[in-house]
Amino acid sequence: MKRIGVFVCHCGTNIAATVDVKAVAEALGHEPGVVISQDYQYMCSESGQNLVKNAIKEHKLTGVVVCSCSPRMHENTFRKAAASAGLNPYLVEIANIREQCSWIHKDIASATEKAIILGKAAVAKVHLNSPLTAGESPVVKRALVIGGGIAGIQTALDIAEAGFDVDIVEKNPTIGGKMAQIDKTFPTLDCAACILTPKMVEASQNERITIHSFSEVADVKGFVGNFTVKIKKKARFVDETKCTGCGLCTEKCPMKKVPNEFNMGLDNRTAIYIPFAQAVPKVATIDPNYCMMLQKGKCGICSSVCSVGAIDYKQEDKIIEQQYGAIVVATGFNPINLDKYDEFAYNQCPDVVTSLELERLMNAAGPNGGTLLRPSDKTHPHKIVFVQCVGSRCDDSKGKPYCSKICCMYTAKHAMLIREKYPDTEVYVFYIDVRTPGKNFDEFYRRAVEQYNVHYIKGMVGKVTPRSDGKIDVQASDLLANEQLHIDADMVVLAAAIEPDKTARPLATMLTTQMDTNDFFTEAHPKLRPVESATAGIFLSGACQGPKDIPETVAQASAAAAKAIGLLVKNSITCNPCVAHSDELMCNGCSSCEKVCPYGAITYVDKEFRMPDRTTAIRRVASVNPAVCQGCGACTVACPSGAMDLNGFSNSQIMSEVDAICK
Amino acid sequence: MQEAMINKAKQLLADGTVDRVIGWKRGEFAYDITPAVFETAEELEKEFVFDDFTAANVSKYLVKESKKEGRILAFLKPCDTYSFNQLTKEHRVVRENVYIVGIPGGPKLDAEKIKAKGITGILGVKNENYTLKIDTVYGEETMPFYEAILDKCATCKSKKHVVYDELIGDEGEVLDSNRFDMVEKLENMTAQERYDFWRGELSKCIRCNACRNVCPACTCEKCVFDNPNSGVENKAPADSFEENMFHIIRAFHVAGRCTDCGECSRVCPQHIPLHLLNRKFIKDINSLYGEYQAGEDTTSRAPLNDYKQDDCEASVVHERGVE
């Protein structure tokens, strides 16, 4: 006979304000098998836990039901309490009467009734609980960082610093990411390359860091501590081990009209190219879409000028496989596409540029060697209009609902830099409101307004019209003066919203991590676990989790590294015992479960069975690898015969919960 | 046709290609044609039958037969080959142990439809220019051939064999059938009308289990209805279980795996149109996840066992019937 204890938590007034906890304890006390039913103000407190522990000993409990908050909060607390009192921790069930009851209801009578029903379901389930023992699985002492921007570089450096091997997978030919394209950084105005490139070099020189540039993650299998990842090394048609980065091939390449993505297409590069002077690895890459040798089989100049014979036109994509204990996602961001914003004439006028394009226009390694000139006629602009929130904070389908966070600060930076370098230039900034929280940020913005006389105008730009005389007519409203403005601008700069990189979503599917509706990775807890994903062993670094500036990105990158290191230092981790298993006598061997298993935990074996008619037969049956199974339960619902079942969430337990609710 | 099949079977037995033959033999009545296994040429000569009443799908028998020693010859109609492929995909039959001879499909006759015309004591039938001449103990009767064919043949989906080792006769094609018409009619009913329709049909169930036993998708080692731990065990029509649960659970269990062979409705002694439940699933799968025919091949992933990024959320996109 089961001896079950029920413990109802008030959670202060979180539960007790809408649920009559005493009535719940009273009602559940009459359920079959329940020998003690109590309520207490804070069950998770030490004295609350002692209440549970003492009851287990005193009443020789064989099962415990705690009616409290979500099991995500305190299931572990009560499991540990039970274990310390000598009860198997998996004989504890949580009835969630907070998130799923008191917080979402107002009427006390009906909320109380529901809390009792939820409690009854948990009691019905705990009747069928059986003791489970957690196993252990080893941790591979190597980390993978996906994305080689400042976030990925920082994470990799920190993990390597702690003494673990770490691989960076970067889809572009060089690491560096967006920061490499930025001219100066706020709020100190130091040059981005000057602070980034030492880190890039450090990463490439660190013996513990392997950089897989021009590579992508192709497949992820496994689980925390033991991921198996396939990395696709895309063909760059240059032997990385031979190329010295001398750049002779890029000088001699006759195909010189390839839009240069590093300079945002504002100038051209050759078909064989090194993205920028400080690229890491400094290795040439052939763009197969433009290379005449690869397109038409004619040319071969790069191959003939290369003194080390690094050019290999026959190179193919290569898949390498590696084991990792932890994976850090650092896939970063991109500015949104502005095709839908006809009102700003972005696609019609070359002098309407995005802020990232302006970074390149102002950069010494940019198309104009650092002199700010209009892209159309290479003349010096005298009047520049900045438009903030282009696609940010939008309630329509064109843009993004969120604030892109970095635009207010970089626009202030741009305005200030232009006023500093070209005092004869008038600068207007149109804003909804200026958001500058952060250390020395508001001071920075005020300097732009007060010291550099940048015209900040509250209001949105309605229409941008290029004129035949080369000027750009900007129609806008000044909301504070309540008047319409017409500005004859020479250039317009659009602060385009930022969005997660397009590679993030397929990656999330491979990693079985969650994303929000905007494709930003979801953290395990928005406040308390901001750098972990909900999937164990997957950590988040930088703007893939939400818009961030460089200081915040670096802080999060180091935090993610700390979490990954915390995992890698362990020799083994405790496995979840709530895994699937198949009843071989019932298994048909039909492969339904194997097909739905997202972890590849199910294989098939041919086994000899003694059949009911006293013959023996070889039958194909499913076998679950408990170290790989994550207990998602997909197989149990796919199984047509019900042979597949999940420890701790068995079909019969769930049915009895449903029965208790429907009774 | 029967002659050609017997000769083919004898030849394959004689040259050692196969050790056994699964075909059909006569039952108690002329229209009771039942699957049977033959081991010798003599047995074939004596008992092998293939005629207008030979509708039974032998694929399911191969779950057991293909695991026995030696190789078995199976004569499969086009619809039967879909079932066989599906069973191969689910690793329920051993493909190497079966030699498949594809034979032409129906339309096959439904004795119940002949009896419904008041024609009883059937001894045999002959199709003469689509007029059915029926030899009975009371003399010869006639009726139009197409009025006597099985429902499953009237909505035939394919004359093509999707798997075979050799063919007798010509290969046919996948047909553009109107098999979803009745499903659409049901969908257009109000919820109450539909409920009344199914209640009326399902309350006729005597729980003989013929539908389950004949179904080539129902090959579980232990059926949930026989398993006391499943929570849905039930063996006899003691309450309204059949009306409320049995057929619905069965339809869910074969969803995405049912090839629409129509055997469930053919064998139902109470004439419940059970295939409509399965067809509703097939129609929904087709419209939600793209055209899919179970058993068409042995490698594709069934939509319900597969996840694609652009999969719809069925509960969101599906509009409920008229209320």
Domains assigned to chain A: 4-128 (3.40.50.960), 142-233+317-332+501-568 (3.50.50.60), 248-304 (no CATH), 337-497 (3.50.50.60), 580-647 (3.30.70.3270)
pLDDT at position B318, please? 55
Residues in A closer than 8 angstroms to B224, CB to CB, are 641-642
Closest-CA residue of B relative to A656 is B231
**Alpha carbon of B247: minimum distance to chain A alpha carbons (Å):** 15
How far apart are alpha carbons B147 and B16 in whole angstroms? 43
Q: Does B253 touch chain A (CB under 8 A)?
A: yes
Choose the closest CB to A589 out of B91, B231, B257.
Answer: B91
Q: For residues A223 and A575, what is the distance between their CA atoms, to the nearest angstrom?
A: 10
User: Is B221 in Cβ contact with A585 (below 8 Å)?
Assistant: yes
What distance in Å separates residue A610's CA from the closest CA in chain B? Answer: 13
Give pLDDT, residue A512: 85
Q: What is the pLDDT of residue A136?
A: 87
Contact B231 A588 (CB under 8 A): no
CB spacing of A620 vs B91 below 8 angstroms: yes
Per residue in B214-250, pLDDT (tens digit) is: 999 999 989 989 888 887 888 777 778 777 789 999 9
- Residue B96 touches chain A, beta carbons under 8 Å: no
Tell how far CA A341 is from the center of its chain: 28
For A590, the closest of B91, B301, B307 (CB atoms) is B91
The whole-angstrom separation of Cα B269 and Cα B257 is 24
Does residue B121 contact residue B298 with C-beta atoms inside 8 Å? no
Give the distance from residue B263's alpha carbon to the nearest chain A alpha carbon, in angstroms.
Answer: 20
What is the C-alpha separation between B305 and A596, in angstroms, rounded? 6
Q: Report if pTM > 0.90.
A: no
pLDDT tens for B17-47 read: 999 999 999 988 889 999 999 999 999 999 9
- Closest to B253 (Cβ–Cβ): which among A506, A617, A640? A640
| Residues 24-83 (B) with a CB less than 8 A from some CB of A | 67
Mean pLDDT across the stretch A570-592? 91
Q: Cβ of A595 and B231 within 8 Å?
A: no
Q: Are A11 and A40 in contact (CB under 8 A)?
A: no
The answer on pLDDT for A60 being more than 50 is yes
Mean pLDDT of A564-589: 93
Report yes or no: B261 and B152 within 8 Å, Cβ to Cβ: yes
Band (pLDDT 50/70/90 cuts) for residue B130 is confident
The string of pLDDT tens digits covering residues B156-173 is 999 999 999 999 988 888
CB contact under 8 A, B222 and A641: yes
Q: How large is the average pLDDT for residues A106-125?
A: 97
Q: What is the DSSP letter of A206?
A: -
Q: What's the start-to-end Cα distance of chain B, in Å?
A: 52
Q: Is the pLDDT of residue B323 over 60?
A: no
Report the pLDDT value the prediction gives residue B65, as an integer from 0 to 100. 93
Q: Is B227 on the interface with A (CB under 8 A)?
A: yes
CB < 8 Å to B220, chain A: 586, 588, 640-641
E-strand ranges in A265-421 read 268-269, 272-273, 285-286, 318-324, 326-329, 333-335, 352-354, 383-390
Q: CB-based burial of residue A162 (10 Å sphere; 0-12 exposed, 13-18 middle, 19+ buried)?
A: middle
Tallying the residues shown for chain B, one arrives at 323
Distance (Å) from the alpha carbon of B314 to chain A's nearest alpha carbon: 17
pLDDT above 70: residue B147: yes
Cα gap A8→A15, rounded to integer Å: 10
- Residue numbers in B near A652 (CB within 8 A): 229, 231
Using only the alpha carbons of chain A, give its radius of gyration: 31
For residue B198, name the pLDDT band (cuts at 50, 70, 90): very high
pLDDT of residue B73: 94
Q: How far apart are the CA of A589 and the nearest CA of chain B, in angstroms?
A: 7
Q: How confident is the model at residue A360 (pLDDT cuts 50, 70, 90)?
A: very high
Looking at every residue in chain A, the average pLDDT score rounds to: 94
Instruction: Find chain A residues with C-beta within 8 A of B233's C-beta.
Output: none
How many A/B residue pairs have CB atoms within 8 Å? 59
Inspect the interface and report whether the beta carbons of B90 and A591 lie closer than 8 Å: yes
Chain B residues with beta carbon closer than 8 angstroms to that of A638? 305
Give mean pLDDT, residues B51-71: 92
Contacts of A604 in chain B (CB under 8 A): 91
Please give the average per-residue pLDDT across A575-583, as a whole number. Answer: 91
Q: Which of A585, A586, A591 sits opposite B91 (nearest CB)?
A: A591
Closest approach of A505 to chain B, Cα-based (Å): 9
Q: Supply the pLDDT for residue B319.
A: 56
pLDDT score of B230: 81
Query: Which chain B positions have a beta carbon within 8 Å of A617's beta carbon?
Result: 67
Coil vs helix vs strand at B147: helix
Of B67, B220, B231, Cβ closest to residue A655: B231
Give how far A460 is from chain B: nearest CA, Å.
37
Binding-site residues on chain A for chain B (CB distance < 8 A): 505-506, 509, 585-592, 595-596, 604, 617-620, 638, 640-643, 651-652, 655
Beta-carbon separation of A641 and B224 below 8 A:
yes
- Is the distance from CB of A531 to CB of A559 less than 8 angstroms? yes
Contact residues on chain A for B227, CB-CB shorter than 8 A: 586, 641-642
> Which residues does chain A have within 8 Å of residue B301's beta carbon, measured at their own beta carbons?
595
Question: Which among A505, A620, A642 is the nearest to B227, CB-wise?
Answer: A642
How far is B32 from B23, CA to CA, in rounded Å? Answer: 13
User: Residue B317 pLDDT more than 70?
Assistant: no
pLDDT > 50? residue A249: yes
Q: Which residues of A touch B229 (CB under 8 A)?
A: 642, 652
Beta partners for residue A351, in sequence order: none
pLDDT tens, A375-400? 999 999 999 999 999 999 998 888 99
pLDDT at res. A222: 85
**DSSP codes joined into one string, B64-124:** HHTTSSS-EEEEE-HHHHHHHHHHHHTT-S-GGGEEEEE----PPB-HHHHHHTT--SEEE
Mean pLDDT of B93-106: 92
In this model, does residue A601 exceed pLDDT 90? no
Give the residue from chain B lying closest to A595, CA to CA.
Answer: B305
Residue among A617, A640, A652 whose CB faces B220 most closely = A640
- Does the distance separating the beta carbons of B305 and A585 come in below 8 Å? no
Q: Does B90 touch chain A (CB under 8 A)?
A: yes
Best mutation target among A641, A651, A654 (most B Cβ atoms within 10 Å) is: A641
d(CA A250, CA A302): 8
Chain B residue whose CA is closest to A587:
B221
CB contact under 8 A, B92 and A586: no
Q: How confident is the model at residue B322 (pLDDT cuts 50, 70, 90)?
A: very low
Could you say which of B221, B301, B309 has the minimum Cβ distance to residue A588? B221
Contacts of A510 in chain B (CB under 8 A): none
Using pLDDT thresholds of 50, 70 and 90, give the confidence band for residue B315: low
Chain B interface, best mutation among A588, A610, A616, by max B CB count within 10 A: A588
Asked if A638 and A629 count as a contact pair (C-beta separation under 8 A), the reply is no
Residue A269 has pLDDT above 70, yes or no: yes
- What was the pLDDT predicted at A271? 96
